[in-house]
Amino acid sequence: MSIMVTGGAGYIGAHVVRLLQQRDQDVVVVDDLSTGRADRVGDATLVELDVAAGDAQQRLELVMEERGVTGVIHFAARKQVGESVQRPAWYYQQNVTGLANVVAAMETVGADRLIFSSSAAVYGMPDVEVVTEDVPPQPINPYGETKLVGEWLIADAQRAWGLRAASLRYFNVAGAGWPELGDPAVLNLVPMVLDKLELGERPMIFGDDYPTPDGTCVRDYIHVLDLAAAHLAALDYLDAEDRPESVFNVGTGRGGSVREVVDEIGRVSGLDVTPRVAERRAGDPPRLVASADRIADVLGWTARQGLPEIIASAWEAWQAGPRRIG
């Protein structure tokens, strides 16, 4: 019995692989290594394969049969909002076709457990204090659309052939569970600030005139190790016969502003983080904070770490390198 982790050589996937290994679970990683790195997966078997390729379904079936795969945690996908606006068809190919290949292979071989990486991007710009899973999804870019379509495909497979699944809507993931597993890409606030500081430049704040307490956008920052633990809780939940929910926010329920994040980086690093305030970035909701009630009630999972731990671990991992990948 083993668990297949697609995208297991990536930032979040590698944390989940490590937690699975810590509980002596046999793991097979499938990753095309386009942004992932082989040295992140430890002694797990690594199969180099693009889940969206033309022959991916057959190749996945072979791996699943050979390794006795009973469940899949599916991370392998593209995740850059701006890029998705530029290349929508490619995002649908990568994220939707990739998932369809995984689900089709699972159906063929009879592997019936799936955890899917969804995103708070499915909500778009919700005008609420905290977003519950019942807020109607209204994605505002192709990236968010591909995640919502993925959730629909999974719900259809649950009805059609009894797939057991949970879709996890991640909020703002940061930090590192181990220094060598930090986020190597400079795509999100924390690494973008660290990158500027390393270059001897001032961190950027995209807009300080939002209707929020300090004028900067508020997000729900979740430690990557807490997020990884949520995947294991979700996997265990799929054993239960009675499963009232299959979509869960993964956040802390607490908001942190861009300015608070920047200030915390200054505190932890001892560096001068006086920011440069730039124009608002298109498509940024002023506030996006999870209701974390459902996942606490149904899966018994809550986040343990807050912004200080997130930033301290990100800083430690940043210094350990490598970075600027992806």
Per CB under 6 A, residues contacting ligand UFG are 79, 81, 119-121, 143-144, 172, 188-189, 192, 204-206, 217, 219, 258, 281, 284
Other C-beta atoms within 10 Å of 66: how many? 12
| For ligand UFG, the closer CB: 153 or 189 | 189
Which residue, 150, 155, 137, is CA-closest to 77? 150
CB of 123 to ligand UFG, least distance (A): 7
Which residue, among 73, 22, 321, 300, has the nearest Cα to 176 in the 3D structure? 321
**Quick one: DSSP state of residue 131?**
B
Please give the distance of CA 31 from its chain centroid, rounded to a whole number.
Answer: 15
DSSP of 32-101? --SS--GGGSTTSEEEE--TTSTTHHHHHHHHHHHHTEEEEEE--S---HHHHHH-HHHHIIIIIIHHHH
Q: How far is the CB of 25 from ligand UFG (least distance, A)?
A: 27
Q: Between 219 and 231, whose beta carbon lies closer to ligand UFG?
A: 219
91 catalytically annotated = no
Q: How far apart are CA 276 and CA 204, in angstroms?
A: 5
Shortest Å distance, C-beta 206 to ligand UFG:
4
Q: Which is nearer to ligand UFG, 75 or 143 (CB)?
A: 143
Q: How far is the CB of 60 from ligand UFG (least distance, A)?
A: 25
306-308-311 Cα angle (round to 5): 105
Residue 173 Rama label (left phi>0; alpha psi -120 to 50; beta)? beta
- Give the nearest distance from C-beta 122 to ligand UFG in angstroms: 8
In the complex, what is the shortest distance from the CB of residue 180 to ligand UFG, in angstroms, rounded to a whole number?
Answer: 22
What three-state secondary structure class fits 204? strand
The whole-angstrom separation of Cα 217 and Cα 234 is 30
Nearer to ligand UFG, 40 or 196 (CB): 196
Smallest separation, CB 267 to ligand UFG (Å): 18
- Which of 119, 305 has the CB closer to ligand UFG? 119
Beta carbons of 9 and 38 less than 8 angstroms apart: yes
Catalytic annotation, pick one of 11, 91, 123, 143: 143
By beta-carbon proximity to ligand UFG, the closer residue of 163 and 250 is 250
Closest to ligand UFG by CB, 71 or 256: 256
Cβ atoms of residues 181 and 9 within 8 Å: no
Burial class of residue 55 (count of CB atoms within 10 Å of its CB; 0-12, 13-18, 19+): exposed
Residue 78 dihedral angles phi and psi, to the nearest 5°: -95, 150
Partners of 277 in beta bridges: 205
**Catalytic site residues?**
143
